[in-house]
Amino acid sequence: MAALPSVAQDWCGSDHYHEQNMKDPATRAAYEAEQLKFDQVAQDFLHQGSRDVDIIPVVFHVIHDNGVGNISRDQLLDGIDVLNEDFRRTNQDASNTRSVFLPFAVDSEIEFRIAQLDPDGNCTDGVNRINSGLTNSADNDVKGLSRWPSNMYMNVWVVENINSASVNGIILGYAQFPGSGSWNNYGIVIRNDRLGRIGTAATNDGRTFTHEVGHCLNLLHTFQSGCGGSCSISGDRVCDTPPVDQSTQGCNPNQNLCSNDVSGPSAYTTDVPDQIENYMSYDDCQNMYSAGQKARMKAALSNYSQLRDLVSASNLAATGTDGNDVLCAADFNTEFTTICVGEAIRFNDQSYNGQTTWNWNFPGGFPSTSTQEDPLIVYNTPGIYDVSLTVGNGVNTTGESKQGYIKVLPSPGFYLPYQEGFESTSIADGEWIISSPNGGAEFKQTNAGAATGLYSIRIDNYNGFDGDMDELASSSFDLSTMTFANLEFKMAYATRTGAEADRLWLSVSTDCGENWQLRWAGAGAAMATAPPHSNSFSPTASEWNTITVPLTSNFLRENFRFRFEFESGGGNNLYIDDINITGTFNPVPILLYPPDASPAEAPDVTLDWKAVIGADFYEYQLDTDPGFVSPNLVSGTLAALGPDPSQADTEIPVNGLTPGQLYYWRVRATQNGAPFSWSNTWVFTVDPNGVGFNELAEEKLNLGVFPNPTSDESFVRFNLDQSSEVRLELIDLMGRQLMIPVTGTQLSAGEHQYRINASELPDGVYLVQLTVGDQQFHQKLVVH
């Protein structure tokens, strides 16, 4: 076996773990003798030509630490895709194989399929998920957490990282050679960021998996025995892969570390460069297995009884990998289950196996039903919504319904001021999202202690378990009317012995929880507000601290949320009470509608703006002159009623505006008789036809664009009452045409939906222009 690299690098740990299995001299001698016999068997296979394709069932054991490393099934399936592309030589970079090696680059005639039946014959998606800290610095110890019979499945243990203490570098994965140790340990251990090409492995090519599976099928490294004296006993003992003196990790086409490539029964008549494109090298341009390597793998599948069973027809039927899909479970997921009004969610089908039809139901969503595999749905009303899915394969169907799966929060959020003392009868009444990702002791209302009043919220950590992670997340708030804010809360906490590592984090989000930023953290004795308690801690009035977290201007946005996360370290209880958002409010109104630069408003329009906290009156002006000095000036005042945006004090209807006319408008607040500064001046144009596009489109077409605003994609929806010629295009405010999803096409009566790809557009306001016959309609699209 090759020596360990002298320079720190990323590498395969198979040799290292093989050496551990070979510590007993007698075991090593028996294994080496067996390999000499195996070499001859492999030579015999080399001359047998094409053979049947062998199918290998695969099961993944995903070892995660409280969700860290719990990668998606899609990423695991992508790892299977990489294997099949590489082993069947359908990989896109196969054309990069250099001409000198092209005659030897072959389809290995080996395929991999994820298991559909478990060892007891029950339906499975081929993935076992285990929560364990062993995923960190993993070793063979993870194999005892979950394993299936190795004569039925190729076991793959997916971990966060691998114990690399004994090597000079980082181990990315390792495999056990067949016959080199207990078959209970046969399989692959691999880091989750090296499996597949998506998710945690998005920056990698997935070839670590290909490399390690090669070892499982008895392939050696191309540099295994150095240059040696004969191709059949040096390098990887395969004569169409030239021996290499040592591992390399570059991609140097001129590299040639051994000059004896023609020694022994070589496939070459002259010295050739190193085969850096071989999957069993460490080089960065891998794209091939050779005919000799194929023969060696086929020999392994035939020579070892355990592997003969693995690929047998009876085992393929027993594991559900014989090509007859077993449709046995419907399931789905989303990246987020809590969103704000107007946002869209992509639902991902996770059913198994072999589904070909999908029937979704989304009460409260648009559209409310779908037959797409992974539909995009928008929710326009706050609430808690069920989702259901029925899948079929043309023979049978199965379904799944998730109650209260989607929580839709108000947008732009609850208005300020805000205070929460947890005195109401329930804390999960639409304003809080409570979760315990690994089933710990979740946040609950309690009367065991309060900073004020009778109640607070508590984590019963005294009866919890190390590693429990629990979350308390707020609803959405509109902080855009503030110039400075503090988020305050009161906390009571005691350790049990003084040495625990309980931790609390406070994070905030300005995009309704899609992304979070840490703003405060506390841990163990450093955040204690009381002495250690050997019993379950209940705070007295003096055992509360007030935590103040400043929120700078970049956090003062619509759809603001905050979240507490508590991780148990085996300590004591934690209490939270009296959460407040306080600060300085902007005395200048923020305008809402009509939006700035709106091109086709109705002649009867309602001006709308956000409330100013503390205002007594609002003064508004509307004019055809930007200086607000023309005879057409419309102005007036409204008495301020308070911060509630649903009240009529921030809206004023203006009727009978001139079609085609450009109008300017602004608002200012007055307090104690003194006016504040005017707001920004916004401009809009009245529709030349005298009817606003919003009203006309809503009445005639139910024209809608969602999600809106967007940074990625939106969908245009409309309904035709009769078959019509339709043109759909996206234009900017200068009238320039950007894209045409529908070009003068005759569409049938009914509902239609088209995708707008906005991912490459600059931020700004655009118009979706729909032409139906000789009528033209518009909707605004905001890209941010």
Question: Which residues are designated catalytic?
Answer: 212
From the CB of residue 158, how many other CB atoms can be counted at a distance below 10 Å?
A: 33
Residue 444: exposure state from Cβ atoms within 10 A (0-12, 13-18, ≥19): middle
Helix (H, G, I), strand (E, B) or coil at 413: coil
DSSP state of 48: S
Cα–Cα dist 89/105, whole Å? 8
DSSP annotation of 774: T
**Is the C-alpha dihedral spanning 173, 176, 182, 185 positive or negative?**
positive
Spell out the long-range contacts of 99-104 with Cβ–Cβ below 8 A and sequence spacing 24 or more: 100/272, 100/273, 101/272, 101/275, 101/277, 101/288, 101/290, 104/240, 104/241, 104/267, 104/288, 104/290, 104/291, 104/292
Which residues have C-beta within 8 Å of that of residue 229, sequence separation ≥ 6?
260, 263, 264
Q: Let me know: does 566 contact 574? Beta carbons within 8 Å.
A: yes
Residue 3: phi and psi, rounded to 5, are -70, 155
Question: CA gyration radius for the chain?
Answer: 33
Query: How far is the C-alpha of 481 from the C-alpha of 586, rounded, in Å?
Result: 5
Three-state SS at 553: helix
For 69, the 3-state DSSP assignment is coil
Q: How far apart are CA 767 and CA 717, in angstroms?
A: 14
Cβ density class 173-192: b for 16+ within 10 Å, e for less = bbbbbbbbbebebbbbbbbb
Q: Which residues of 535-570 are buried (b: 16+ CB within 10 A; e: fewer)?
A: eebbbeeebbeebebebeeebbbbbbbbbbbbbbbb
> Coil, helix or strand for 272?
coil
Between CA 576 and CA 520 the distance in angstroms is 14
Burial status of residue 480 (CB atoms within 10 A of its CB: 0-12, 13-18, 19 or more)? middle
Give the H/E segment covering residue 696. Answer: helix 693-700
What six digits make up the tokens of 119?
């060892």
Rounded-to-integer distance, Cα 546 and Cα 526, Å:
14
Whole-number Å distance between alpha carbons of 494 and 571: 8
**ω before 709 within 30° of 0 (cis)?**
yes
Nearest to 718 by CA among 743, 701, 699, 698: 701
CA separation for the pair 366, 364 (Å, rounded) = 7
Hey, is 442 helix, strand or coil?
coil
* Single-letter code of the amino acid located at 296: R
Are 484 and 583 in contact by the 8 Å Cβ rule? The answer is yes
